[in-house]
Amino acid sequence: MSIATLEIKKGLNVAAIREDFPILHQMVNGKPLVYLDSTATSQKPEAVIQVMDAYYRKTNANVHRGVYALAEEATAQYEGARKKTQKFINAKSYREIIFTRNATEGLNLVAYAWGRKNIRAGDEIVTTQLEHHSNIVPWQLLAQEKNATLRFIPVDDQGQLRADQIETLINPKTKIVACTMMSNVAGTITPIRDLIARAHAVGAITVVDGAQAVPHMPVDVQELNCDFLAFSGHKMLAPFIGILYGKRELLEAMEPFLGGGDMIREVHMHESKWNELPYKFEAGTPAIAEAIGLGAAIDYLNELGMENVRAHEIELTDYALNKLRAVDGLTIVGPARAEERGGVIAFAVPNAHPHDVATIFDREGICVRAGHHCAMPLHERFNLPATTRASFYVYNYPDEVDRLVETLEKVREIFKS
């Protein structure tokens, strides 16, 4: 793998890293591509592309079933990726790592397989105003079905969780606390350890949405002591695959989410016995090539060093915040300090709809996201119908922020904002 030589005091060698991403070396509308939408999905390095290509060219076979050489090699690579994932988040066992389609499916799995067995009428489920819809809607459905109550920890004007509300809202009636580690709009890094500790103090389980955090900072599930953690491969340089971590004792006690092949040990006419973990929750043929690609992405991030990834994003986000604050009239959502947020900045331009703003950016070869970013309650909190969002990763550098700001000035001229 071609990868940058790292100098920790100076951060990542972004120029060298960019050489590993073929998609970045192209023109869009006659301008060099600037990709600022990694919060939605990250780009893939050559190492990930090559390992998936090699699987399809040399090893393409189903896993867990065949005894011939190709099938055994495919199984070894697939299960090897599971063990890399285990080590990446420091789970106790590879059996606590379940491959899903995406983080959304992982959160739904917990809502269905744990929630429907354990939630009763009158119980309370606590989440926050920061959440992506995938960490709201499954709990809405569960609460409606079980006649439980869904409560939200509010945020202040800086997009930080109201600490004074946590102890009141997480109380002896609470059975589930579901919270993001990092907002995909405000960028807020939540006090997740405090939330987990409070939840466990009242006997509740914790479900953490790590889709934005795991790709961007070191995450240790044993240190966090969370009960479940869901995240997505496609946001961390990998293909489109999801990962659910769960404590083994909880997973053992849960019924399967989906039924079919590979999740069974025995099937008879009127009853079945389930397979062992993690296969009990992986019905049917899995995303084999995607899992192998995930393993390669984890290797890449490990070589970069997650501490270095985080340090680079703090530096770049701080630079971007300072530049964007100089743009007259701009509304920026989220904490003021880069250390308190991830590498994502959502903003609103006066008199300009975010979709129009994003279209102008596209003409300049700049990829940003426009809309409510699957976080409508948070936008309602700030009285914004939508925002434009720029997000950063290991392959972005300050010159791209400068192009973002230069284009924003053009937007202001067009809309007289």
pLDDT tens profile 116-172: 999 999 999 999 999 999 999 999 999 999 999 999 999 999 999 999 999 999 999
286 & 316 share domain: no
DSSP string over 222-269: HHHT-SEEEEEGGGTTS-S-EEEEE-HHHHHHSPPSS-SSSSEEEE-S
The total number of structural domains that make up the chain: 2
Instruction: Let me know how long the chain is.
Output: 417
Please classify residue 326 by burial: count the beta carbons closer than 10 Å to its beta carbon, then call 0-12 exposed, 13-18 middle and 19+ buried. Answer: exposed
Structure tokens at 131: 């959440």
Pick from 252, 285, 302: which residue ends a domain? 302
Average pLDDT, the chain: 95
139 & 278 share domain: yes
Contact status, residue 130 vs residue 378, Cβ threshold 8 Å:
yes
Q: Binning pLDDT at 50, 70 and 90, where does residue 330 land?
A: very high
State the average pLDDT over residues 10-37: 94
CA-based torsion, 162, 131, 102, 147: positive or negative: positive
Q: What is the reported pLDDT for 18?
A: 98
177 to each of 123, 153, 200, 289, how far by Cα in Å?
12, 10, 9, 33
Helix or strand holding residue 75 (H, E): helix 69-89
List the Cα angle 379/381/385 in 5-degree steps. 30
Q: Whole-model pTM? A: 0.96
203: left (phi over 0), alpha (psi -120 to 50) or beta: left
* Chain-centroid distance, C-alpha 380: 22
Let me know if residue 1 belongs to a domain.
no
Q: What is the reported pLDDT for 417?
A: 63
Let me know if residue 2 belongs to a domain.
no
Q: What is the reported pLDDT for 322?
A: 97
Helix or strand holding residue 309 (H, E): helix 306-325
Pick from 302, 318, 353: which residue ends a domain? 302
> How far, in Å, CA of 1 to CA of 228, rounded?
33
Active-site positions? 374
256 & 298 share domain: yes
State the average pLDDT over residues 254-271: 94
**Would the pLDDT of 1 be above 60?**
no
Contact status, residue 20 vs residue 3, Cβ threshold 8 Å:
yes
392 & 294 share domain: no
**Would the pLDDT of 200 be above 80?**
yes
272 & 365 share domain: no
Q: Binning pLDDT at 50, 70 and 90, where does residue 269 land?
A: very high
Can you give the residue range of the structural domain that contains 404? 8-41+306-415
> How far, in Å, CA of 244 to CA of 232, rounded?
9
State the average pLDDT over residues 337-343: 97
